Amino acid sequence: MSTPETVTTKSIALPETVTVKKLAELLRVPVSNVIMELMKNKIIATINEEIDFDTASIIANDLGFATTADTTEKAGSLTLEDLASLVAAEKTETDRKLVSRPPIVTILGHVDHGKTTLLDTIRKANVAAGEAGGITQKISAYQVKKHGELITFIDTPGHEAFSGMRERGVSIADIAILVVAADDGVRPQTKEVIQFINEKKLPVIVAINKIDKPEAKPDRVKQELAEHGILFEGWGGEVMCVEVSAKGNINIDRLLDAILLVTEVEEFTADEKRDGLAVILESHLDPQKGPVATVLVKTGTLKVGQDIIAGSAFGRVRRLEDFTGKNRESAGPSVPAVLYGFSDVPQVNDVVQVVSGKSLARMKSQEALLKEGEVKKVIRKEDEDVKRLPIIIKADVQGSLEAIQQILGAIEHPEVVLEEIASGVGSITESDVKLAASSGAKIFGFNAEPTSVAKRIAETSGVMIQSFNIIYKLVEAVKSDLAVLLPPEVIRTDFGRLSVLAIFKSGKRDMIIGGRVSEGKIVRGSLLEVKRDGEILGNGKMGNLQRNKENADEVGQGNECGLVFDGSVKLAIGDTLISYQVEEKRRTL
């Protein structure tokens, strides 16, 4: 008698809604099998028809699968963390056919340590010359080929203002190149990058740059890095180190070889057959082309014609371009691409997902309803004594806007508050100006200029527009405007005291009195405080001051003098007058 075979039930995670075709792909069965099972359940559906989770679960169960709800792939809800988990899970699912993909490499390091020059040397293109203030202010992605193998590079800013963008670069990458200048050593952003790398457990290669400079001390740099937990091969650790000169093109090939060696050990893979999942690296509004997004595909394949969403933005892939500007029909794992077709500018860091036409239509309908009843909410403090500076921010790209908002959001003061009425990417338009006019806001642009119409409306309506091409100049301008709202600091300086000995004349407002300076000095034109029996009765101002019947600018201790007191207090013999001045000093944040 034969022993019955043990039946193993496979588990599959299903989204909220799924097309018949997609369900067949998830179950890895022919579409005809799924359609047959639907018909058995008296459901007639075509391959592009959407079915809900309950229906899909019944069909999957009938075909021998246990099902769970896949909340991570709900349209528009994927975060970078979700994406990382999903990509990691692909390796453990034995029934997935994975292929090797190019490594995604991020170049990180302190500002001015040569990151951008290193990338320039690798890709033979000069972008540093076009950067305002010599700082890279956008994330970009490129691919190079070495020994027939592709390597994808992500460039992230080194300036302290772009902490969030550097952390995102670490989250997306497979390998980090930590660039440290041989003549400068470990700096604040270097320490920050090391912390990011350790948290993400990211393979790292150290590139000690500028080794051709006379003051270069690579061994000292290695020692400093070792003190921060970066241990090199031969120093008791496993981190590879390459001494390079980006400017002199020294050992760049060795650095690329090191990347390929780490890639061989780590074995980076992806499922290129599934629908593409990509990360928005950069986005902006082009006046002619509309919303433009730079994306990096993490797994799967994005194709022209697919319906897509990223956060609250949606659309259809109208065109894909590689980083050189050439059109392409698809973009697979680790491929950076420029994507055209979003209805609105997507947010940096959002995950691009492929959806069915029906899901897209539903999202469009929901957005229309939201816009119909949308009310802009502005966070206000309860304390009415707090003064507010309403502003509108426009930037060239989403990454720059994010960095500006990050810095401005850190400005806190108990007496003044910054209110961001609106923000966006692209030129400063007439609608921005009209909103500013109605809300009393100032408009700040970063690499964003007003259109001719907007400029004309701003001039007639008195709206202030300021444009900058360096982020810190914009931030300082905002801080300066906030500081103007602060009440000035009042500084009082006491000069001296006078005892009233005689009253010669008493008018409605002014009195002529005589007295002796008991302390310090009495200064002509100063303010006077009246003190009687230890209590302050009020204030006045000194008119003329005389000593020995001659005008004097000041009278010192021990001397007698006469003066004109201008004030509402009626002086009496025995009163004390305190001579002082008050200065107002403008405060800063």
Q: Model confidence at 384, in pLDDT bands (50, 70, 90)? A: low
User: Is the predicted pLDDT of residue 128 greater than 50, yes or no?
Assistant: no
Residue with the two structure tokens 């001015």:
112
pLDDT tens digits, 193-207: 888 788 878 899 999
Q: Model confidence at 464, in pLDDT bands (50, 70, 90)? A: very high
Q: Give the model's pLDDT for residue 385.
A: 66
Helices 452-461 & 430-439 angle (0-180, nearest 10): 20
Residue 536 makes CB contacts below 8 A (sequence gap 6+) with 529, 530
Q: Can you tell me the mean pLDDT for 416-443?
A: 89
Among residues of the chain, what percentage have pLDDT more than 70? Answer: 86
Token pair belonging to 187 = 């700096």
Q: Can you tell me the mean pLDDT for 55-80?
A: 75
User: Is the predicted pLDDT of residue 373 greater than 50, yes or no?
Assistant: no
The overall average pLDDT reported for the chain is 83
Contact 450, 465 (CB under 8 A): yes
Angle at 516 between CA 512 and CA 517, to 5 degrees: 110
pLDDT tens digits, 357-369: 656 655 655 555 4
pLDDT tens digits, 231-252: 888 777 889 999 999 888 899 9
Q: Give the model's pLDDT for residue 361.
A: 55
User: Is the predicted pLDDT of residue 124 greater than 70, yes or no?
Assistant: no
Among 58-67, 401-410, 521-530, the range with the most confident prediction by mean pLDDT is 521-530
Q: What length does the chain have?
A: 589
Q: Identify any residues that bridge with 502 across adjacent strands, giving them in sequence order.
A: 514
pLDDT tens digits, 425-435: 889 988 899 88
- What backbone phi and psi angles, to 5 degrees, belong to 160? -60, -25
Q: Give the model's pLDDT for residue 165.
A: 56
Residue 393 makes CB contacts below 8 A (sequence gap 6+) with 401, 404, 405, 408, 420, 422, 423, 424, 443, 444, 445, 446
pLDDT tens digits, 307-351: 898 887 888 999 999 888 889 999 999 999 999 999 888 888 889
pLDDT tens digits, 68-123: 776 444 555 677 777 887 888 777 765 678 899 999 998 888 777 777 788 888 87
In 201-323, which residue ranges form alpha helices assigned H by DSSP? 218-227, 252-266
User: Is the predicted pLDDT of residue 423 greater than 80, yes or no?
Assistant: yes
- What backbone phi and psi angles, to 5 degrees, belong to 432? -60, -45
Contact 347, 280 (CB under 8 A): yes
* E-only strand ranges, 311-386: 313-321, 327-328, 330-331, 336-342, 351-355
Instruction: Give the CA distances from residue 103 to residues 143, 152, 258, 433, 508, in Å, rounded to whole numbers and listed in that order.
Output: 10, 6, 12, 45, 89
Q: Give the model's pLDDT for residue 522.
A: 95
pLDDT tens digits, 11-39: 787 877 788 888 888 888 888 888 888 88
In the chain, the domains with their CATH numbers are: 8-70 (no CATH), 102-267 (3.40.50.300), 387-485 (3.40.50.10050), 489-585 (2.40.30.10)
Q: Identify any residues that bridge with 314 across adjacent strands, giving them in sequence order.
A: 309
Q: How far apart are the first and last CA of the chain?
A: 88
pLDDT tens digits, 44-54: 777 777 788 88
- What backbone phi and psi angles, to 5 degrees, belong to 94? -65, -20
Token pair belonging to 496 = 């001296």
Q: Model confidence at 144, in pLDDT bands (50, 70, 90)? A: confident
* E-only strand ranges, 362-509: 387-395, 416-425, 442-446, 465-468, 489-506
Long-range contacts of 1-4 (CB under 8 A, 24+ apart): none
Angle at 500 between CA 497 and CA 506, to 5 degrees: 125
C-alpha–C-alpha distance, residues 264 and 587, integer Å: 59
Among residues of the chain, what percentage have pLDDT more than 90? Answer: 38
